[in-house]
Structure 1
Amino acid sequence: MELKDLTQRLPEEVLAAVLCRLPPHSLAAARCVCKVWHAAIDTRRLLDLFPPSLAGIFIKFFDLDTPEFFFRPVRGTDTAVSGKLHYLPTDKLSIVDDHCNGLLLLHKASYVVNPATRRWAAMPPAPSRLENGCPWLDAAARDHCYILFDPAVSPHYEVLRIPSLSWRTTGFELQVEWPPSPFAMHVFSSTTGNWEEKSFARRGDAIGTVAHLQQLEKRSVVPHLSAYWRGELYVLTQFVTRITLSNNTYQAIKLPVDVGPLHQELHLGRSEHGVYFASFDPQCHLLVWILNELHGEMEWVLKHDNKLDNMLSRGRYDPQFRGPWVIEDINYNSNHSTSTIDMEEVEEDELEWNSDNENTLDTRYRVGNHYNGIISLLGFHPYREVMFLSASFTRGLAYNLNTWKLEDLGSIYPKDYSSMNMFVEQSFPYTPSWIGNLPGSV
């Protein structure tokens, strides 16, 4: 008699007690064994028993084909997550449009992939135009796509395609308020497998006129980032758009700082207490706000205000120091059919990262190369009030917003990387989802 037939005779609580001993990747796979196992895992929400975790940080360097993955190696029964997407049907997927709770949206919303389970699904092309869109919206080439996914609620996901303003708008259209109401967007649902045009009503005031927003776009560079928090999507442009799919409404929220200098770095992300926004200027002045809702109104509350120049200038980084995090060197390995990571070279006491420990820049890592003044914001830790930074495009740093401690996590510099213009194009912390099912997956 097969093992699964024997387990079907067990009481559900006994079966659940056995299954919960599996690591998350194996438990997710066990959901597909049979209906009894699937029910035992889902009914008792066994996958929810695993604490949320941070697997690593995806980093897209300019001139490299695919994003790199900066992560902490694991041992024992833990399951490592790789940033390598070699199992996808095409290698032309270097652009990550968006990410949410373990899913990546790739290459103009053509694929959705879960790097933790290596499940992926192809998406149908989005419609070329909006039937009820504004005539001064830009062509589809400048639209941006965002994914919404909450595995605690449903295995299904949705994708929003949000139109952008056209710089070619002239005449009376320049005086029209922006964003408009209603605001037409294309929405994809994995439940139906189709795109649908939906109109979203605005709650509250517009940000300004089309002319005003055009001027902001021309004199600033704002990354198109998003954060998903409690069923709502927050999208960063020259302002923050808070989108609620449950009732097809949205709200336009002004940023807490003026968007002007081209050299100012801005970041939006989810962290311990909600949606966070960061501003970092060339003088190493870091400002961080939390978005709070009070009596139906959204307000930015200043969480952190500190200049990091003295702290960074005191730090020295050992280029030979490997841990506690390492870079996967996906681009180098794909060209050389090898791996640059040797798990045995990582010391046991370097595997656990804790931003409250004493491994800060004024301790054992203060040997070697100096910081050269170039800092990039890599993202917020999703579950702790920690900001990830890169120093000189070579070191990954973790800055604790509460203790003001800065820790050197290791080298982020890809092997054999060289470019006339070295910079980080895109980065985001990755939180794995171990839900085995991905609607439409292969």
Structure 2
Amino acid sequence: MEGDSTGVALPEDALAEILRRLPPRRLAASRCVCKAWRAIVDGRRLLLPELLPHSVRGIFLMYNDLDYPVFLSHPSLEPEVFGKLDFHRDTDPYCWSWSTASVRGHCNGLLLYKDKRGLHVANPATQRRALLPPPPPPPSGRRWWGFQHLVFDPAESPQYKVLLVPEDPDEEEVSVDLRQKARDEPSVEWPASTWVLCAFSSCTGQWEERAFAREGEAAGMASDEVLNSDGFLQSCSAYWRGVLYVQCNGGVTVMRISLSSNMYRVIKMPTDIEKSEYSHPYLGRSNEGLCCASLHDWYKLRVWILDEDDSCGKMEWVLKHHIDIHHSVSRVKLFCEENEGPWKLQDANCYEDYGQQNLQDSNNDEDGSNSAVVKSKVEWDSDSDGIVDNDIVQNFSQFISILGFHPYKDVIFLNLALDRALAYHLNTSMVQDLGKICPYDYGGTAAYIKSSFVYTPCLMGDFPENKSRAHVGG
């Protein structure tokens, strides 16, 4: 109707039927008309419903002192993901002793990983990959550019971006200039009003420096207390509604980075969050949006959702769950002794488990078109698989850590003492045993999971290749 503030002149059902008939590119463009149209397109999954199945395919795991990642998944689901990727094993057996690869991130079906050749972006579901050119050297005074974070939204564009984000926005100045300035002028704000990052775009095939202006208040004063934050195992990030959220400064702050407006905002973690030597705050995305979780007193799980008010720019963490999970995980101990678990580890560190098909041989279809769309069963039946339903409770006094969130359901994945992976349903307290999580012949005091990424597939056949032929993978 005329004058409708929502911008919807027709009933939602009628408008949805009209939008459904648009070609994919025009349908994607219609999301930019207004918030109401975007809500209809996204809420009803009108765009690419077959290519974005909204499912969890598995979990990528990086272990300390292991050269290659491990993929935990349900073996009956297709397409096969891990065995056909060649980043986990060099094809030259003589390179085995010094070749390594690590998964650095995941975003909406694409995987970011690094090996001896450099950074790669790959689609494990369709077996396409591109090797990125090396980033330019960091500016004078900075030792490194930072952690790598992938940005990709197939509903918006087939193109992707990679950002190098330092853990500390003033990393290059912390050692000398800023720390001295903080002692001389305690009132100096942190972080800086302008933040320069290095970014790669698949559209141009090049790295470039991008300056982001700070909006909103600073995190605090540039004092030693602010800058001397201890490091943590992984720099978690999440991409939500066109904005990249990255944990920085030891995980105690979140940087909200908008690539469309070249603005960034500092968001402090919840004030009552607790960080310990065995558990750090985990940033992720759930079906409700951006969320973070932490464990305190070993078994007290708390989950917050970020409430963003676009009208006034206010952002507030809202506590959604505060659960004592000790009783639930204690029930798993006996259950696990009698069950192997429905999910299996695909371990690239074990030579016998290595799949010999090279990814570069799969980068093109038989006709060379490189445009096939994989259509397979990719959904994990998360409501009936591996449910722990026994009432026997055994004493459990080992550590638990967070592996990630299910991006489309109220489920959090947990690591139970480097022995089992669990899926915990936050609304019902239902626990599902997924399977063994410890690789063969792995253990000791230095054994732990350094990072983990919940993998959701994207079945889009098209994959943008870099402009520079010298750096195209496959």
Q: CA deviation at 1:107?
A: 2.2
What pairs up with 1:151-166 in 2 under 5 angstroms? 151-163=154-166, 164=168, 165=171
Aligned to 1:106: 113
Tell me the CA shift for residue 184 of structure 1: 0.8
C-alpha distance in 1 between matches for 2:385 and 2:201: 47
Cα shift at 1:217: 1.1
Per the alignment, do residues 211 and 84 of structure 1 end up closer, same or farther by CA in structure 2, a change over 3 Å counting?
Answer: farther
Q: Compute the displacement of 1:438 (Å).
A: 2.2
Instruction: Write the letter of the residue equivalent to 1:231.
Output: G
* Correspondences of 1:261-300 after superposition (within 5 Å): 261-294=276-309, 295-300=312-317
1:139 is matched with: 143
Between stretches 377-386 and 317-326, larger displacement belongs to 317-326
Provide TM-score, normalisation by structure 2: 0.72
Q: Note the C-alpha offset of 1:95.
A: 2.1
The CA deviation string for residues 145-170 of structure 1, in whole angstroms up to 9 with x for no partner, is: 21100111111111111233255233
Q: Which amino acid in structure 2 is aligned with residue 363 of structure 1?
A: N
- C-alpha separation between the residues in 2 aligned to 1:213 and 1:117? 47
* 1:190 alignment partner in structure 2: 202
Quickly say closer, same or farther: Cα 1:222–1:323, change in 2 above 3 A.
closer
- 1:62 alignment partner in structure 2: 64
Report the Cα offset of residue 58 of structure 1. Answer: 0.6
Instruction: Identify the residue that residue 398 of structure 2 maps to in structure 1.
Output: 373
Deviation at 1:282, TM superposition (A): 4.0
Match of 2:364 in 1: none
Residue 210 (structure 1) aligned to one of 222, 233, 258: 222
Comparing 410-419 with 207-216, which one deviates more in the overlay? 207-216
Alignment partner of 1:228 is 2:239: yes
Is 1:71 aligned with 2:73? yes
Report the count of equivalent residues. 376
Q: Given residue 155 of structure 2, which amino acid in structure 1 is its aligned partner?
A: A
- The equivalent of 2:373 in structure 1 is none
The DSSP-based 3-state class of the residue aligned with 1:315 is: helix
Q: Distance in 1 between matches of 2:385 and 2:111?
A: 34
Pairwise CA distance, 1:260? 4.8
Seen in structure 2, the aligned counterparts of structure 1 residues 301 and 328 have a Cα distance that, compared at 3 Å, is same
| Mapped contact 1:200–1:248 kept (Cα < 8 A) | yes
Deviates more, 1:376-385 or 1:221-230: 221-230
Aligned-residue CA RMSD (Å): 3.0
Asked whether the equivalents of residues 275 and 294 of structure 2 are also in contact (C-alpha less than 8 Å), the reply is: no
**Equivalent position of 2:254 in the other structure:** 240
What's the offset of the Cα at 1:79? Answer: 2.2
The answer to whether the 8 A contact 1:371-1:392 is kept is: no
Report which stretch shifted further, 317-326 or 388-397. 317-326
1:359 Cα offset (Å): 5.1
Shift of 1:193: 0.6
1:363 aligned to 382, 387, 390, which one? 390
CA separation in 1, counterparts of 2:83 and 2:109?
A: 12
Confirm or deny: 8 A CA contact 2:198 2:207 kept in the other structure: yes
- Matches of 1:244 and 1:202 in 2, distance apart? 10
SS in 2 for 1:217: coil
CA distance in 1, matches of 2:234, 2:353: 32
The whole-number CA distance in structure 1 between the counterparts of 2:63 and 2:220 is 34
Question: 3-state SS of the aligned residue for 2:229?
Answer: helix
* Alignment partner, residue 307 of structure 1: 324
In structure 2, C-alpha distance between the alignment counterparts of 1:301 and 1:45, rounded to whole Å: 30
Q: CA deviation at 1:181?
A: 1.3
TM-score normalised per structure 1: 0.77
SS at 1:402's partner residue?
coil
Map 1:278-427 to 2 at 5 A: 278-294=293-309, 295-316=312-333, 317-319=335-337, 321-332=339-350, 334=351, 354-357=381-384, 360-363=387-390, 371-427=396-452
Secondary structure in 1 matching 2:327: helix
The amino acid across from 1:404 in the alignment is: S
Q: Which runs of 5+ in 1 are unaligned?
A: 1-43, 340-350
Instruction: Answer yes or no: is the 8 Å Cα contact 1:223–1:267 preserved in 2.
Output: no
1:77-88 to 2 correspondences below 5 Å: 78-82=78-82, 85-86=85-86
**SS of residue paired to 2:349:** helix
Give the equivalent residue in structure 2 for 1:343.
none
Q: 1:431 to 1:50 in 2, by over 3 A?
A: closer
Cα distance change, pair 194–377 in 1 and its aligned pair in 2 (3 A): same
Contact 2:238-2:285 at 8 Å conserved across structures: yes
Instruction: Give % identity.
Output: 40
Deviation at 1:324, TM superposition (A): 2.0
Query: Is the alpha carbon distance of 1:107 and 1:286 closer, same or farther for their aligned partners in structure 2, counting shifts above 3 Å?
Result: same
CA distance in 1, matches of 2:161, 2:379: 35
Amino acid at match of 1:61: Y
Q: Counterparts of 1:87 and 1:313 in 2: how far apart (Å)? A: 37
